[in-house]
Amino acid sequence: MSSPRVENLLAQMTTAEKVGQLTQYFYFQVDEVEEHLARGGVGSVLFVTDPAVLNRLQKQALEGSRHQIPLLVGFDVIHGLRTIFPVPIALAASWDTDLIERAQTVAAREARAVGIHWAFAPMVDIARDPRWGRMIEGAGEDPLLGGDVAAAQVRGLQGAQLGDSDRVVAGPKHFAGYGAALGGRDYDEADISDQEFYNVYLEPFRAAVDAGAGNIMAAYMDLNGVPATGNRWLLTDILREHLGFEGFVVSDANSARDLWTHHFARDLADAGVRAINAGLDLEMAIHDPAFGHLEAAVENGLVTIERIDESVRRLLTVKEQLGLFENVFVDEAVAAQVLADPAHREVAREAAARSAVLLRNEDGALPLDADALSKVAVIGHLADSPRDTLGPWVFDYDLDETVTILDGLRARFEGRAEVTYAVGAALPERTYESMFEEMGQGTSGPPRGLTEPIDAPAELDRAVAHASEADVAIVVLGERQDMIGEGASRASLELPGDQLRLLQEVVATGTPTVLVLMNGRPLDIVWATENVPAILDVWYPGTQGGAAVADLLLGDAVPAGKLPFTWPRSVGQVPIHHAVTRSHDPSKQWRRYWDEESTPLFPFGHGLSYATFEHSRIAVDRASVGRDESVTVSVDVTNTSSVDGVEVAQLYLHQRHGTSSRPMRQLKGYRRIAVAAGATERVTFEVGPAQRRYWSAATRDWVVDASTFDVYVGGSAAAELATEFTVTD
């Protein structure tokens, strides 16, 4: 139900003014946007982060609108605004929803302080194909983890309810199924079966809507042949009726006008009509919006004024909920203080430490013993590239305050050991220009130390010489931040450029070597897993990344991250994930290729610690329960080391028979638990109808079967500790 103010405004507004409220402009063509502003033709803007500019735009909006309607300002505050957190896939790897909520609370505070009211986050697209660059922006392959991360981000961004003065509207995206792009090619069509749609891709959106998200962003691509942005089944039947969403729906950039590009709409006017009639409320446009034809569409009876009013009502209501009619201006001095808050940097450092995943640690190669080191060789382009340390989807950052891995290590070894640095092998430019370069948003810069073009052979020799003279070589490899993210899909997962050769030459010196990865997708590191004893994945760790990485390498922080995706051996195995059905003789289950293992390099949920953990004494409270009853599964988690640590105990379920074939392992619970050295903690999991419910293609409906269930608990999807229980009619 909307307020008297909203209804009064609706009653006074012309159709042109109403359509203006349904248009959001990128603040790129500044003059064009300001012309529209002057005649009240803009409801929202994006790509402005300067509080002074935002104050000016709000003033223009109020003056340009007969009804004093303020602008709703949205932006891609994906993993921080000025304080940059680790990229979202990294935060997901922490499996720490409290941390994720705290990080997004900081991001919301900084965004609101400058006059941004709405974050185009969380990105909740399930991704099971690492060729797709936007895997980095989400929470990986699993609907349970993805849903929990989505809900935590919504809570952090919005607070308990919309309207808090230091929070923003959360805008889960991209609705829906964008991560299933054909061939992992960004923007390509997604053809998704109903059972995958309901059981996998829709789940994180359900969790986000249930957490109260105020906005949803429609996706670019064709979903089963119908563009998401013009898909009434998706935007109305599923989003409104099935999920009960009551907020407003925004298109992706130009995705409404692109209904014409899809050859779905006849022309731009038809695109606007079909988008709004499908359920789109607000068009995000760079220029020449499809909604620009809606006034004529109403006159021609193609769109009812009631449908227009429905969308305008949603937008005016959210502006009212945010208090924008009372005060829309920000205090620029206060904004500067909020952006500089040192407490925010501490959360970023903690987040970077908790997100890292220790993939390999043979013979306790890590943590390093600082006292035993007199010379440390740091090698790699990414080790000292501030822009790459932040990862993609960041705009209002401060490179001068960004702590690279080299910075972090130099600070820790100052006065104790000599730290040398060599790029070793410069990362190549992308073959094709990145989207952000096109948008003038800059791209990855060179390492700080690189001032002139590299003489590749000489630089490689220099790095090898440094390694030869050092007590340990820390090699930082991965992808440049513009090699992943939007418009950054790949046909290969190899380490770009000569990075593998660099690693091989460093290892060949015989100096103990640690591989540190900066990435947002699994990369081909098979050689490293056979030849490098210690591999730590730090993702793109953000503003305080280098400080956190130094903490981890030296043992002041203990890794506890777990992979939010399955790590393939080769791109030929893709798509690959943990929740596959039996579908064939299990003894042959994992030998499907003749030329490659069918098992992953690392399973979903994998991650080591400096502590070691054992799971034991698994038990269910009841061996048999009714269809609508739950069992409680209990397990001991023992820290068998002398180091305090944190384990993420994971519970996987397999239903042995039923209405559909069910995955051999499906994550259905996890507990992130601190266990002191030598101690044992007992954890419990509830496995009830909610965990056993799924949508079946046999009945085309949701079912909870009577069956026998295998339960596995451990530190990854490869858990072997098992028990079972039965559900009877």
Binding site for ligand GLC (CB under 6 A): 76, 120, 173, 252-253, 486
Catalytic residue among 96, 142, 148, 252: 252
- Which amino acid, 584? H
Smallest gap, in angstroms, from Cβ of residue 173 to ligand GLC? 5
Shorter beta-carbon distance to ligand GLC: residue 329 or 395: 395
Smallest gap, in angstroms, from Cβ of residue 485 to ligand GLC? 9
Identify each DSSP E strand in 503-555 by its residue range.
513-518, 534-537
Shorter beta-carbon distance to ligand GLC: residue 25 or 685: 25
Question: Taking a C-beta distance cutoff of 8 angstroms, is the pair 118, 169 a contact?
Answer: yes
Number of other CB atoms surrounding residue 519 within 10 Å: 25
Number of other CB atoms surrounding residue 492 within 10 Å: 11
Provide the CB-side half-sphere exposure for 496 (13 A, CA): 22
Smallest gap, in angstroms, from Cβ of residue 14 to ligand GLC? 29
For strands 72-75 and 118-119, give the pairing: parallel
Whole-number Å distance between alpha carbons of 564 and 602:
11
Smallest gap, in angstroms, from Cβ of residue 434 to ligand GLC? 12
Residue 252 annotated in active site: yes
What's the angle, vertex CA 315, arms to CA 311 and CA 320, rounded to 5?
140
Whole-number Å distance between alpha carbons of 476 and 552:
14
Shorter beta-carbon distance to ligand GLC: residue 341 or 437: 437
Whole-number Å distance between alpha carbons of 104 and 380:
31
Shorter beta-carbon distance to ligand GLC: residue 91 or 347: 91
Question: Taking a C-beta distance cutoff of 8 angstroms, is the pair 645, 628 a contact?
Answer: no
Measured in whole angstroms, the distance separating CA 660 from the mean position of its chain's CA atoms is 30
Shorter beta-carbon distance to ligand GLC: residue 253 or 488: 253
Smallest gap, in angstroms, from Cβ of residue 169 to ligand GLC? 13
* Two tokens, residue 398: 């401060």
Please give the radius of gyration of the chain, using alpha carbons only, rounded to the nearest integer. Answer: 26
**Sequence-distant (≥ 6) Cβ neighbours of residue 399 within 8 angstroms:** 386, 387, 390, 445
Q: Is the peptide bond before 367 cis (omega within 30 degrees of 0)?
A: yes
* Two tokens, residue 17: 């003014």
Is 443 strand, coil or helix?
coil
Shorter beta-carbon distance to ligand GLC: residue 122 or 658: 122
Shorter beta-carbon distance to ligand GLC: residue 26 or 197: 26
Smallest gap, in angstroms, from Cβ of residue 252 to ligand GLC? 5
Distances (CA, A) of 149 to 4, 92, 103, 588, 614: 36, 7, 12, 35, 26
Distances (CA, A) of 294 to 255, 368, 369, 703: 16, 64, 67, 43
Shorter beta-carbon distance to ligand GLC: residue 37 or 121: 121
Smallest gap, in angstroms, from Cβ of residue 440 to ligand GLC? 13
Smallest gap, in angstroms, from Cβ of residue 729 to ligand GLC? 46
- Which amino acid, 70? P
Distances (CA, A) of 668 to 123, 486, 626, 641, 671: 22, 30, 19, 28, 11
Tell me, what DSSP letter sits at residue 215?
Answer: E
Catalytic residue positions, numbered: 252
